[in-house]
Amino acid sequence: MTNNPEHVFEDRTPGVEEREPTASYLSYTVGLALAIVATIASFVVAQTDLLWPPGIPVGLIVLALAQIGVHLVFFLHLGSGSDSTNNILALAFGVLIVFLVIAGSVWIVANLNSNMMPMPMQ
């Protein structure tokens, strides 16, 4: 293996070599179970009157955020350990940008829509 060109590439990768499994089978199985529960709940809530109808969009958003949290913790293994600190800081910045882009666009365009002159053809 030492004559493998792969070896030359490896030496340039920063960090130390370590052979520690990243996660357990249990973590994935628990994550899958929780994600399936959240998915089924979303589809049930959207198609029945289980929730008070005007509250359905809020319920769907809450279930989606919960499922995203499950994916981040159980599949992407973001945790409270020191190895995750940098990833969580980067994630926080990403969430900020995503929030600004989506909420900002919806806000601005809703404002533009309400200030539009009525269209003659409608």
Partner 1 sequence: MTTATTLDKTPIGGRTERARGRGGGGPAPKRIVVAYGFWIFILSDMVMFSALFAAYAVLSGNTAGGPTADRLFNLRNVFIETMCLLLSSYTCGIGVLAAERRQPARSLIFAALTFVLGAAFLFIEATEFARMVEIGAGPSRSGFLSAFFTLVGMHGIHVASGLLALVYLVAQVIAKGLGAAVLRRLLCWSLFWHALDIVWVGVFTLVYLMGDYH
The first and second tokens of residue 101, run together, are 């882009």
> Exposed, middle or buried: residue 62 (CB in 10 Å: 0-12, 13-18, 19+)?
middle
C-beta of 91: minimal distance to partner 1 in Å? 7
Check: CB of residue 29 under 8 Å from CB of residue 65.
Answer: no
50 lines the binding site for partner 1 (CB under 8 A)? no
24 lines the binding site for partner 1 (CB under 8 A)? yes
Sole binder of partner 1 in the list 2, 49, 80, 97 (CB under 8 A): 97
Check: CB of residue 45 under 8 Å from CB of residue 54.
Answer: no
C-beta of 115: minimal distance to partner 1 in Å? 15
101 lines the binding site for partner 1 (CB under 8 A)? yes
Task: Quote the Cα angle for 89-93-94, to 5°.
Answer: 115
The first and second tokens of residue 64, run together, are 């989606």
Residues in touch with partner 1 (CB under 8 A):
1, 4, 6, 9-10, 13-25, 28-29, 31-32, 35-36, 39, 42-43, 45-47, 56-57, 60-61, 63-64, 67-68, 71-72, 75-76, 82-83, 85-87, 90-91, 93-94, 97-98, 101-102, 104-106, 109
